[in-house]
Amino acid sequence: MPDVHCTVDNCKYWTTKNLCTADNIIVQNDGEGGVSPDAQLSSLDATPASSKDETCCQTFQQG
Ligand code: SF4
């Protein structure tokens, strides 16, 4: 799987430099989301979530 950069830093699959360690993920659309393709993906601000409904990723599990 390619590198997945994620800022939901309280997920059990999240690790340093905003990387996801899950074997696979499920993502759904987000009318508000998105970052520039030029963004520094490893240093984006954290965006913790309290449930998967607060993320674009349905694989989220609170760590
Ligand atoms: S929220 Fe999804 S993409 Fe982010 S670390 Fe968790 S499983 Fe990976």
Taking the centre of ligand 1 as the mean of its atom positions, its distance from the CA of residue 36, in whole angstroms, is 19
Q: Which atom of ligand 1 is nearest to the CA of 61?
A: 6
pLDDT in tens, 2-19: 899 999 999 999 999 999
Q: Is the dihedral of CA 61, 18, 6, 2 positive or negative?
A: negative
Q: Where are the domains of the chain?
A: 1-30+56-63
Of 36, 38, 39, 11, nearest to 25 by C-alpha is: 11
Half-sphere exposure of 22 (CA within 13 A, CB side): 20
Q: What is the DSSP string of 32-48?
A: T----TTS-GGGPPP--
- pLDDT at position 50 is 93
Q: Which atom of ligand 1 is nearest to the CA of 15?
A: 5
If you take atom 4 of ligand 1, which residue's CA is the nearest one? 6
pLDDT in tens, 29-62: 655 556 676 778 888 889 899 998 888 888 999 9
